[in-house]
Structure 1
């Protein structure tokens, strides 16, 4: 059995033994091949186009599974898994993750495996020194508005003499589309294509809503938090603190922004759990004191869900990230592959995997299990991540997602970098997206 995966080395070394401990048949051996996530999609496409039977199991990013499904290149698990297994996927696994590997008719082509949602990390120790009471005010579970959080950030930054308030990845790349702006736009009740009902299409027959006021307000907030109220397109609301996000983030992607936080130069940082698991506990950063120094809150919100015109959008929102497991339809070891996936769905395996890899169990009920909350580093964040798991937004994935992502990230970056006004940038973006949708309409 051959499985291609993006996993930490120490987790890979324990992978097969963990599967057998969870009940996998002893006569099934598992070889894990690892590749850079940046090369996985292209490699899969080449292999599957050639009809190659290996790897038997594919680790598919939640952001690009659907194009493979549309091309008929993944096994339809709804036709091959037992009914009770399918029911477990529907009932127990995170809905958004399951939907990211769902076909047009509702069939399932992938099982969630490595689940990643994002909270907002902050320096709990510095907040306390500045006079705040995170525990007494339930910061870990009660989302606060962006206005409130920006003021807290500005206050702590000023009192502690920090170089940065909030760091985030905003380099011109698809990270803007999938994650950073997707989350902030959703926290304001905005959507690229008319809300959840149109996330995965149909291409050419869905509204393009990037010029709606909620999207513009998200951009105005970013301009406010970066440049202050002197920016001519800042929010007309003095309750938002200006200058708490450095303009440096316009060139940062999941490296320098994390380094600024871990180096003690920032109050708050946003990224997935594995980053803090792998780096935050190292001796070079917070060392053994990470659990005392670093807290997590749900993502701040621009407007509440009740005030949003799009159902299920607004309030605290996290971008969906992670990987699902799919089966190569050309595999000569299909039955063994199915048994491996069924074994990996067990609570015992998922909680052990969390403890060696740092990836959250995609069965959201497990986030509150003793096996997870007792983790010495990550357990304290599970209350927050449970909130975020219930408020997750996927990226709008279709066969033309990457083409659309390119123009989205460019125009959003144009606006946030002050090269275009919010209205002009989103009007230009709407025209480009409509042209793409019409050209590839199905």
Structure 2
């Protein structure tokens, strides 16, 4: 087998190109004790200062109690620095608001924060994060630009100056995890599973498969996904339904990132309404979508986000789940020593194909940190291969360096699903991340969620989005 082929016959180079060359606002160290800085200070910060003290990292539950401080010290962070991982809110919108509140109050903690690729750019444009290009040495910045997933680097780059403000931590995209054992009982087999990895079923076919697997199975739910009124519905799950059905926020991908006020708003087109109808039919089976989609999702998904569906799927309560790549490792661990068998496929196809929301998290620095020198040491160490591999092994987060995807392919956990991961990575849809997106995504989430709860018809929700988002465009253009 050649170095550039996989055990499934899939080109690794194709996969790496897909994850590293997605659109401009998509996903997206050295050892020793020197300060590594070559520039001035950021307003509100105390400058480089002495190496030492405590660096707080606004990270997440996967990083708490997982040994990350020790691994970062082994990768070069001086022993004089204490690293404290904090546990922020679970959902991305709450994390954004908590960071917004801390910066508005000019709080020095946290020193470092993992920011969602979907809402980092507005912080950058407002000057609410440290310009790493000015504060860190040129060699490190060059390494990040050369080695990192390009779409994530673009996410952490100022759109006008081109300066780097954030360093990629992990890219992400969703897949469908499913119970092979239940599908076998429904008459499906390895030939089906193999086909779906590179040619997923349509939404209609998928709903029929889930429905058949539910019959006679000891499960409470069919297909789980995230339909709560929160940022993830607008940027991700609805975006996937919308794009697969041929709809678009602003007429197509070319307009996702502007120009604000000078692009068409297309949320009330027939195809965009189809996207809402498909999501509604997945829950209610009303038959309004252009393809026959059975109601295989519980009404509760309109109130659920990622942690909710992840835990339910892992305890065996559902046939399938839409979630991010880290959920694959979680399911495998949960299924150990049980009769449950895991399968992975890309998201189902609509008339416009199978599309997956482009996600991921990047490392940014609080402009009011009072320990910049030590925070920079943590950033540099986090970019070392050893830390990123440990991150993958312990938290199931994909490495932000394309060269490390061979490490993913060779893993016992993710290697068997490499073909499905490649397909998903090749079919990514970014969110329309601009300075007005935070307001627009609230509108989208509220209206789509109302349709999911059948408080509004898909047509009514689409009209409301069209009117409100057009107003935002006009006021901000």
Show the counterpart of 2:337. 288
2:396 to 354, 358, 365: 358
1:325 is the counterpart of 2:381: no
Matched residues in 1 for 2:296 and 2:66: separation? Answer: 42
Moved more, 340-349 or 326-335: 326-335
2:73 to 6, 20, 23: 20
**What is the CA deviation profile of residues 99-134 of structure 1, one whole-angstrom value per residue up to 9, with x for unaligned ones?**
332322233211111333211011112222333234
SS in structure 2 at match of 1:324 = strand
Show the counterpart of 1:207. 264
Q: How does 1:23-102 map to 2 (within 5 A)?
A: 23-37=76-90, 40-83=95-138, 85-102=140-157
Show the counterpart of 1:393. 429
Matched residues in 1 for 2:82 and 2:128: separation? Answer: 24
1:266 is the counterpart of 2:308: no
Distance 1:128 1:349, change over 3 A: same
- Native 8 Å contact 1:114 1:324 kept in 2: yes
TM-score, normalised by the number of residues in structure 1: 0.82
2:303 to 251, 258, 280: 251
1:155 to 195, 208, 212: 212
Unaligned runs of at least 5 residues, structure 2: 1-53
SS in structure 2 at match of 1:300 = coil
CA shift, 1:278, in A, is 4.5
**What is the CA deviation profile of residues 365-418 of structure 1, one whole-angstrom value per residue up to 9, with x for unaligned ones?**
42332xx34545455444433433343333333344332222212222233344
TM-score, normalised by the number of residues in structure 2: 0.77
Matched residues in 2 for 1:8 and 1:172: separation? Answer: 22
- Native 8 Å contact 1:56 1:337 kept in 2: yes
Matched residues in 1 for 2:308 and 2:87: separation? Answer: 25
Matched residues in 1 for 2:116 and 2:308: separation? Answer: 24
Unaligned runs of at least 5 residues, structure 1: 305-314
**How many matched pairs?**
420
